[in-house]
Amino acid sequence: MSAARSDILRQSLVISAVVFMVIAAMFGAGVFGGTPVQDLQNGALAADATILAPASRAFSIWSLIYLFMLAYTVWQALPAQRASDRQRRIGYPIAVTAVLNGAWLLAAQFTTLPLTVLTIVLLLVALGATMRLLVRHPPRTATESIFTDVTVGLHLGWVTLATVANITAWLTAEVAPESWSVVADVWGIAVLVAVVLIAAATAIGTRGRLAPALASAWGLIWIGVGRFSGEPESTPVAITAWIAAAIVVAVPLALWATGRRGELPRR
């Protein structure tokens, strides 16, 4: 296959993958006869189901992520991007993340909580690998950075939080004993500390890219709101989540301020 045909195929597959993701999202929002996500799995994925579930307004970030994904899809399809070496490296990985995103929504609709956990973990791994490629092959322009690094970064940062929430939903609904609620606050705080460590490692690994931190912090803020003003109520978890949000954003800002971002060599 010639390089030109291979590039067109890549661009077409990215378009197809993102269209699939958007259709699945609409289905998950209750369009086309689908059941809204908060009502699936006996309510295990609802905003008031677990100690680490973000308040419902947190999920509005998906609209922003989808907007960036659609913008990337149009941009990467332009003739000027067809033979881009960077697009040749990241086009297929981004398509994989779009497919897994849509697959999670279908898994939530039609399968079981353990399969949703497996799917979202695969999505997190795919996003992490894609972000790593972007770091190793830095953008040449600010425009390219917005369409690629910001898009993947927002997706990665939010899915990091969503993975924690999804695993917690599964454990709470199907694994944890009745006594779980007695130590829920302690367990929730411990997990939030782990989230901070993961987010800090992400900031270092992505050389201070801010988008993942902002998306993770958004989720943490709304976990705090959910626990402070909703059910299950937990002031300790709410305060910890808000502190965690501040730390998550502070780490990449500190890397920028101290000039310790560095860059990985191109390969």
Domain ranges of the chain: 3-258
For position 118, what pLDDT does the model report? 97
- Length in residues, the chain: 267
- Asked if residue 143 has pLDDT above 90, the reply is yes
Distance CA 101, CA 24 (A): 8
Distance CA 202, CA 158 (A): 12
Distance CA 105, CA 62 (A): 12
Distance CA 265, CA 267 (A): 6
Whole-structure pTM value: 0.92
Helix (H) or strand (E) holding 61: helix 61-76
Reading the block at residue 227, the tokens are 């626990």
For position 160, what pLDDT does the model report? 95
Confidence label for 266 from pLDDT (cuts 50, 70 and 90): very low
Half-sphere exposure of 43 (CA within 13 A, CB side): 4
Q: Are 223 and 195 in contact (CB under 8 A)?
A: no
Structure-model confidence comparison of residues 259 and 108, the more confident one? 108
For position 264, what pLDDT does the model report? 44
**DSSP-assigned letter for residue 26:** H
Cα 41 → chain centroid: 21
